[in-house]
Structure 1
């Protein structure tokens, strides 16, 4: 099995280098991609950075051609290993000096350097090391052990796809969409998961708040949940029909599940409690109130 892996390594590494090299050598967006890499900082010139990126792509294609055409020759395998080591060093430098810079690993990958970038570079190093030990052409091994060869190449391809961010649209994005369909959106929270700030934001967009705002004289003082409601406590001043003013506690209660996204027009109860007598204040806050704003 070990000999099979070493003999098939030139094929796997060659295909990988072709996939990454073609875009960098001949792609139309290489200049834009190079502008986001740390190469611009090192070379202090966007055109030079583009040339280096294209040259790297050409080198990958040349090494890949050598691995596929002469898999038992040591030179392409050593060159592939050296290229992988160079990738690891480049990624490490970029991660330390400019972590926000683009990886530049492939023509379509414009994301920053991440652990996936290091894993892919490590696979190039490992592939080159195995290819050095190849003693038989990959097509001979594939002919002798077709099933094992297919399994090995399939596993290798799956691993490369998993660590390639530019291929996420082939598997990761559909997988995430399927998870949302089956288990629901992760941001659709339960009552305990909806923060109080979200309830306050929802309240302050409601007609209940607009109608009660002439009474409210403070920000949020306290909050709690009971009997399926979330209570938000404020202090206020209620003007009596006789012309006096009495301090009151203003309680708003609403569904703790609700947010602006799930309930733009929430049901809100408003209660006024006289701070001196601790009795409910019987007042209709909507009397004379003409709504000019939507509920949310």
Structure 2
């Protein structure tokens, strides 16, 4: 299995290098990407773009050599050295120019992060494994198509996952899909949390304890016909939680109730009911 893994590494590194070269050589935003990178601090404003283009040429040449069999040991060694150089550059950029952009796999402005460093480390490891290859990647993939394809897909997926500049391609769409499927602003009853908050803020109970509140909604849960909404608060010098009980079926703000609970002891310090008595669960009353 190690032979298959090693043989596929030149293909992985070659694809990543050519993709990176495409950004530096063919993107209409390459000049802007170079000016946002740490190359400006390292080499100066006037040398940043030529160095950026030169790096793209090196990546394109080496990537093409890695993709075209046979893969020579010198090519794998050069790929490893280039990945280690990338790792050193990114570490420098993160320390010396934390607001600079990576400019690696996309012209989009993306600060250097731990994921960028991990990606460079992954490519360095891939280059090192390529040194162990005894045959070309076409032979390895043809002889073990399932294993070779799986290694290729997993590694390229890891590169994409470790590339913040590519988040808009896969991560943001996934987050939007999750939001559409889970409806994060809805509770278990299907009533939007925003509707509950609006009802709550119109209530007399809320107005009376509003000066005590120190946070927005911190937690909420549904129980029967009621939704309970918690806010961090401070009362008589104590850290407390203001727990509002809001009826789900009745939109009348006057039925909102609130209890102020001591965070340290769990004691209810204050209990306020609405103008009309509520038929829902009672909150325990303790003297102030």
TM-score tier after normalising by the smaller chain length: 0.5 to 0.7
Q: TM-score, normalised by structure 2?
A: 0.66
**Aligned with 2:211 (options 200, 210, 220):** 220
Spell out, residue by residue over 1:13-48, the C-alpha distance to the aligned partner (whole angstroms, 9 max, x if none): 111111111111222111111121111122231x31
- Cα 1:183–1:221, aligned 2, differ >3 Å: closer, same or farther? closer
Q: Which residue of 2 aligns with 1:80?
A: 79
Paired residues in the alignment total 227
CA distance in 1, matches of 2:96, 2:247: 45
| 8 Å contact from structure 2 (residues 37, 102) kept in 1 | yes
Q: Is contact 1:34–1:40 with CA below 8 Å preserved after alignment?
A: yes
Alignment check: 8 A CA contact 1:10 1:71 kept: no
Q: Does 1:69 align with 2:60?
A: no
Matched residue, 2:136: 137
In structure 2, what is the Cα distance between the partners aligned to 1:108 and 1:149? 31
Query: In structure 1, what is the equivalent of residue 154 of structure 2?
Result: 155
Q: What pairs up with 1:248-267 in 2 under 5 angstroms?
A: none
Q: Which residue of 1 aligns with 2:56?
A: 57
Instruction: Give the structure 2 partner of residue 118 of structure 1.
Output: 117
1:40-92: per-residue Cα shift (whole Å, max 9, x none)?
A: 122231x3111111111111111112212244312211111111111111111
Instruction: Give the distance between the partners of 2:12 and 2:213, measured in 1 at CA.
Output: 63
Q: Deviations over 1:168-187 (max 9, x none)?
A: 233222221222122222x6
Aligned counterparts, 1:1-296, within 5 A: 1-45=1-45, 47-185=46-184, 220=211, 269=254
Q: 1:62 & 1:83 partners in 2: Cα distance? A: 12
- The RMSD of aligned alpha carbons is 3.8
> Where do 5+ consecutive residues of structure 2 fail to align?
215-225, 230-243, 255-288
The structure with the largest alpha-carbon Rg is 1
CA distance in 1, matches of 2:27, 2:174: 29
- In the alignment, is the contact (CA less than 8 A) between 2:21 and 2:57 conserved in 1? yes
Kept in 1, the 8 Å contact 2:90–2:102? The answer is: yes
Q: Report the Cα distance in structure 2 between the residues aligned to 1:122 and 1:77, rounded to whole angstroms.
A: 15
Query: 1:93 deviation in Å?
Result: 0.8
CA deviations on 1:127-172 (whole Å, 9 max, x unpaired) are 2111122221111112211222111111122212211223323322
Unaligned runs of 5+ in 1: 231-253, 259-265, 270-296
Match of 2:223 in 1: none
**Secondary structure class of the residue paired with 2:211:** coil
